[in-house]
Each structure stands twice: as C-alpha cells, then as structure tokens.
Chains A and B, each alone.
Chain A
Amino acid sequence: MKANPPSTRADLNVDLYRTLYLIRSAEAGIRKYYHEDGMKTPMHMSMGEEAIVAGVCKALGSDSQVYGSYRSHALYLTKTGDTDGFFAEMYGKITGPARGKAGSMHMSSPVQGLMCCAAVVASTIPLAVGTAFANKARSTGRLTAVFFGDGAMDAGVFWESLNSACVMRLPVAFVCEDNDLAVHTPRRQRQGYASAASVASQFDCAVFESDSTDVEEIHRVATQAANEMRNSGRPAFLRLKWYRYLEHVGINEDFDAGYRSKDEYLQWLKVDPIALQREKLLREAWIEAGKLAEFERGVDQQVERSIQSAKAAPYSQKSELFEGLFG
C-alpha cells in the first residue's frame, strides 16, 4: 500500500482512498469473523473516523511518529498497510507484531512510526510530547502526532501535556477526534466550556478545526498544521469531527440503547468518508470505475487472505510468557 509521494491532486486523492478503503475493508473482515470468537480482544472500531487518521497521517509524512488510543485499527493500517500482522495480532498469534501480547488495544509498529496505542484514555498524550522533545533535541525534522477522543480532554494529563508542549515549543500535533462521546456520555455532561478549540487557542499553539468528513479537506487542514509546526516550532491542536458508527467497544450498532438516535447516524452516513471519497474519484474521473472496483476487490481478497493465514498461524510457546519483560 505504500505509494510514492503523490505528485498531483488526483494521485493524492487516490492514495487517500486506498487507505480509507483498506481500513474499512479490514474492519468489515472483523465484523464478518468476530462471532467465531477467534479474535479474543476488545474491538474499538474505527468506522466513521477513517478520514481523520488517513488525512492527518498523510499530511505529516510517512516519517512522522504517531500515538493513538485503544481505537487503533485505522492508525495501524494507515501507518503500515499490513493486514497480515494486523489480523495475526487480533487472533493472538505469534505472527502478530507483538506476538499476540498486544491485541487490538495496544497496536504498534515503531519502525513505521506507530509508537504505541494505549487502553487507558489520554495515557499516550505525554509520550508524544517526549518524542517531539527527542526529535527537536536530535534535529531529526520528524513530526509527532497523538490521536485521542474528546473524552481525553477531560483528563488532567491532556492539559499538562498541551501546556508542557507549548512552554517547551515542541513540534507535536494534538489531534482531537471529536465524536462528542466519552463511551456513552455526551460532551455537554462532561466539559465546562463551550469550545475546545477556543480554550486551546489560549495556549501558545496553532489551532485548527474542521467538521468535514472529506479526507482531502482534513488533509488540507493537517498540512497547514504541519507547515505551522515546521515553520514556528510550535505545537498544533486540531479538533476534527466524526461520528462513531458502532458501539464504544464491540462490532455492533447500539442505537437501541437510547443515548443517541439512528436518525443522527443516517445523517452522518450521507457524508460517510469512504463513500464521499469514492464518489469524488469517479466524479473527477481520477480513476476509472473498473479500476476502482478491481482495487477494492484486491483489498477485500487481501483482507480475507490475511484472516485465513492468521487463523492458521500458531500461538507462541508457553515460555513466551516470560519473554521481553526487560529489553
């Protein structure tokens, strides 16, 4: 899936669609097989947020280092394109990147820049600040980003981290994936301020906002943020909107639970990031319909192959339990 740097708007958009489709297809694979109980790991699905991860990661460059939350699927697949490792880890097999020790909530691929994901809200945010400090100290020119939900802004360590990054002038992007929910609790019951972006703008950082689900638009905003970080050395705060299609954890819809309505979901589905981008590619004739369908079939087949090979792969030896405590 690694493409060369896109040279034209068409290339960029096709490239972004590749990432969006890969994420969506892989998660469709999870939904297809999860009931078999082979993937024994709590799934926090990325469905609905794909454009944020794909757009921001593309804008920051393939050498950027990123951190995420337990909602890790989009981030792992965007940074690696690796469906074999992805599913092997979901199935807890030795062929997974963490040999089955991490599972869905702790995906990482440090060589490709996904440093870690964590199961405790907000816990990776300060790591991104430290990584940006190291990049500045070592003059690597690499950018760092951390992705978190709006619920993480309820945690003290978010504010500690934003403050520290601003006072230390570090090139780190705080990317708030705002779905208005912390598990099932809406923002108005949790946050004693009207606008996250306006509060963040009181800090010495560059602030960006978008409610768009158009991956190209998100890429444009994130490119501005990347330029700002490179030029001024200051951190960036991005508040980007999305709608969580599925339950907080698990593979099902939960509109019968009463905390949100299916109508709301159907409104958001009209601007689904994958459908939106697909329509755009065809409308602008950046790719032929046949070639597009062929690409999608190829990805679906790749996902299916990865699932089958993960199922067939062995578990680690029991002695693996004690491996890797210290490096």
Chain B
Amino acid sequence: MRTTTFCEALNEATVQEMARDDRVFVYGIGVPDHKKIFGSTEHILERFGPTRCVDTPISEDCMTGFGLGAAINGLRPIHIHIRVDFLLLAMNQLANMVSSFSYGSAGRMQVPMVIRAVVGRGWGQGYQHSKTMHSAFAHIPGLKVVAPTTVADAKGLLVSAIRDDNPVLVLEHRWLYWQQGNLPDGDYTVRIGEPNVIRKGSDITIIATSWMNVEAVRAAEILARRGVQVEIVDPRTLAPLEDEMLVASVEKTGHCIVADNDWSYCGFGAEVAARIAEKCFGRLKSPVTRIGFAHVPCPTSRHLENEFYPNAVQLIRAVEAKLGLSPTDLGGENFYSHENRFKGPF
C-alpha cells in the first residue's frame, strides 16, 4: 500500500498494462505532447515510442472508428480525450458502431477498446468544457461506463477496462486528479460492475457518483458530529449497473439521496432512484431524493457556476430535511474551494 494521486494511478495503470501486453496503445489529440493529458500519459512516449503513443489529427469521429477498426484486428486501443465534450463528435461511432459491434456480429467479434475522457469543472470552463454526459453514454446498450472516484479506483478500474474485451468508457473528473489516497501494491484491479461503500453508516444512504462522493464525505463528516451516521455508496460502474449493494444499503437505512455528478433530468440518478423505489418500496421512510446539476448549460461566471453544481451544503440540508433535523450551523465550516489550489487556465 502506497500513497499516490489519482493522476499517477491512471498513469501507472497504463504503463503497467502497456508493458504487460504489447497490443495496448494510447492515442488521441495531444496524448504525447509536453502536457501529457494533465500528466496521466507521462513516460509513455519515452518508454514505448511513437507507434504506441500516437498523436492524432483533430478528428474525434474518425479516430473513434479508427480505434474500433484496430480493436477488431488484434490491438487494444486506449483513446484519450482531454474533455468529455470533445467525445461528443464521435457520438455516431459510439452509438451506431462501437456499441452494437459485438451484438451485430452475433458474438463473432469483440471490441477491446478503452475511451478515457476528462470531466472538466471550475475556473470558467463553461458549457463546452465541463460536461459529464455519463447518463447519455450509459443509456446506450453495449457500452460499459465507469467513473472512478478514489485513487485505488483510478488504477483498478482502468486496468480492468484495458483487460476487458468490450468497449469501456472511463470518465475521470479533473478535480479528482490531485486527490491523494492509498493504492494497493501489485496487480490491483477493481471488477467492472462492483460498487464501493465509501463510508459506513446507519441513518441515511447517499449514492454518489464521481466528484459528488467528495462532497458527500464532507457532508457526512459534519453530520457525524451531531450523531447522524451517513452511509455513502459509490456505484463506480454506471453501465452495466449492479444495484444489489445500493439496495442493501437503503434497506438498512430507509432513506436515500442520489447525488449524481450529471444533470438530474433523464439522468443516471433517475435510473438509480427508480430502482431504489422499485426494490425498497416497503422499507423507504421517505421518498428518494435526487441531487444533480441544474438543468441548464454550465455557466462560466463563478457565482452562477456555484449555483449550477450541487455541493456538501446542499447534501447536509437534504439529509436534515429527510431526518426532520434542525439546520446545522455551518458558519465555521470549511468547504472545498477549487480556487484555493487552481488558478487556471485549464
């Protein structure tokens, strides 16, 4: 067990798998350049050369089909997008080609490809540099969608994605890149599909995705001081969703807040809320509450951006409302501020 960062864990997973399997290669816009996708592609060009660390034209649509064509012909591509928003140019390939390829071949072909995409936020990223879109991707049958939260998840899920014989989208929140955490040594994997109980508790369940787990942990710490025990469950894999652990937690606590790092409307949070409502109906002590992005494009100006994103304060207030508690005095509390550590530009 070591302490490292989310970004270094992504890098370690990639280097390890490229050393282990010479069919694996990384490619995408700027992947080998000096910025190295925020550092996550460090050492790869130097160690594996330009044929396995490939810069590409700004042609996301073509380059997604390119990955598919390589994946069905003996290679295991990892396509990297520095913003999820850019991946939308490849929606035809994702929804019409990649996702249906195995099914349409009746199992004669497999598509071992990974698409990594970074979810931006803050410091004025605005409405075309900050989308998550994981609900939209998870909606398409034939794509696996994972959103690692912890440092261990970053390595374990990426390694599993690279070894998977199916297309896996790995959506990485930019703010998580700096997070420090423990990383188990050796050949560490996280099984795609397996959720993670981030914090144990008995009074209420928060099912959170990606960055919202950080907000949920902060909310739980503050609420714990007045004796409220919050359980936090991170699905980690959004598609295909294994809901047993989520259901078991809500059956125990009787209360559920779904805190999704995406728009709520028609979102992954709605899917989770529906499943909890269906499977925990008799045991719910309150209706399932959904928390997510405001249903507008993400504005650039900071004061509006603050309104757009849900946060720990909102979670605390939602917990209090469900449990019939008076509002906690948050006057002296410190909450995460991106600007305390990041001055831009990207």
User: Chain B residues with Cβ under 8 A from A324's Cβ?
Assistant: 102-103, 105-107
Q: How many Å from the CB of B52 to the closest CB on chain A?
A: 8
A163 near B65 with CB under 8 A, answer: no
B96 near A123 with CB under 8 A, answer: yes
Could you tell me the distance between the alpha carbons of A119 and B92 in the complex, rounded to whole angstroms? 11
Q: How many Å from the CB of B20 to the closest CB on chain A?
A: 17
B57 near A167 with CB under 8 A, answer: yes
B106 near A110 with CB under 8 A, answer: no
Nearest B-chain residue to A142, judged by Cβ: B73
- Shortest 5 CB-CB contacts between residues of A and residues of B: A130-B69, A126-B65, A327-B110, A127-B69, A160-B62
A116 near B101 with CB under 8 A, answer: yes
Contact surface of B with A, Cβ cutoff 8 Å = 25, 51, 54, 56-57, 59, 61-75, 77, 92-93, 96-97, 101-111, 141-142, 144, 165-166
**A127-B65 CB under 8 A given contacts A110-B72, A163-B57, A327-B165:** yes
Contact of A133 with B by CB under 8 A: yes
Indicate which residue in B57, B61, B105 contacts A110 across the interface (CB closer than 8 Å).
B105
Nearest A-chain residue to B62, judged by Cβ: A160
Contact of A54 with B by CB under 8 A: no
Contact of A291 with B by CB under 8 A: no
Which secondary structure characterizes the binding site on chain B? Answer: mixed
Indicate which residue in A99, A102, A135, A164 contacts B66 across the interface (CB closer than 8 Å).
A164
Count of inter-chain pairs, beta carbons less than 8 A: 144
User: Chain B residues with Cβ under 8 A from A123's Cβ?
Assistant: 65, 92-93, 96-97
Contact of A115 with B by CB under 8 A: yes
Could you tell me the distance between the alpha carbons of A301 and B92 in the complex, rounded to whole angstroms? 41
B103 near A126 with CB under 8 A, answer: no
User: Chain B residues with Cβ under 8 A from A116's Cβ?
Assistant: 101, 104-105
Q: List 7 A-B contacts (CB under 8 A).
A: A67-B69, A110-B109, A126-B68, A130-B66, A157-B62, A157-B65, A324-B107
User: Chain B residues with Cβ under 8 A from A129's Cβ?
Assistant: 62, 65-66, 69
A127 near B106 with CB under 8 A, answer: no
Could you tell me the distance between the alpha carbons of A118 and B53 in the complex, rounded to whole angstroms? 29
Q: How many Å from the CB of A168 to the closest CB on chain B?
A: 8
Contact surface of A with B, Cβ cutoff 8 Å = 65, 67, 97-99, 101-102, 106, 108, 110-111, 115-116, 118-120, 123-135, 137-138, 156-157, 160-161, 163-164, 167-168, 323-327
User: Chain A residues with Cβ under 8 A from B105's Cβ?
Assistant: 98, 102, 108, 110, 116, 324
Indicate which residue in B54, B64, B69, B102 contacts A327 across the interface (CB closer than 8 Å).
B102
Q: How many Å from the CB of B89 to the closest CB on chain A?
A: 9
User: Chain A residues with Cβ under 8 A from B71's Cβ?
Assistant: 130
- Given contacts A130-B73, A137-B25, list 4 more A-B pairs with CB under 8 A: A126-B61, A131-B69, A137-B75, A324-B103
In this complex, which of B71, B93, B106, B166 has the most chain A Cβ atoms within 10 angstroms of its Cβ?
A: B106
Q: How many Å from the CB of A149 to the closest CB on chain B?
A: 17
Could you tell me the distance between the alpha carbons of A10 and B215 in the complex, rounded to whole angstroms? 76
B142 near A120 with CB under 8 A, answer: no
A164 near B57 with CB under 8 A, answer: yes
User: Chain B residues with Cβ under 8 A from A132's Cβ?
Assistant: 69
Q: How many Å from the CB of B24 to the closest CB on chain A?
A: 11
Q: How many Å from the CB of A110 to the closest CB on chain B?
A: 6
In this complex, which of B65, B74, B105, B166 has the most chain A Cβ atoms within 10 angstroms of its Cβ?
A: B65
User: Chain B residues with Cβ under 8 A from A126's Cβ?
Assistant: 61-66, 68-69, 93
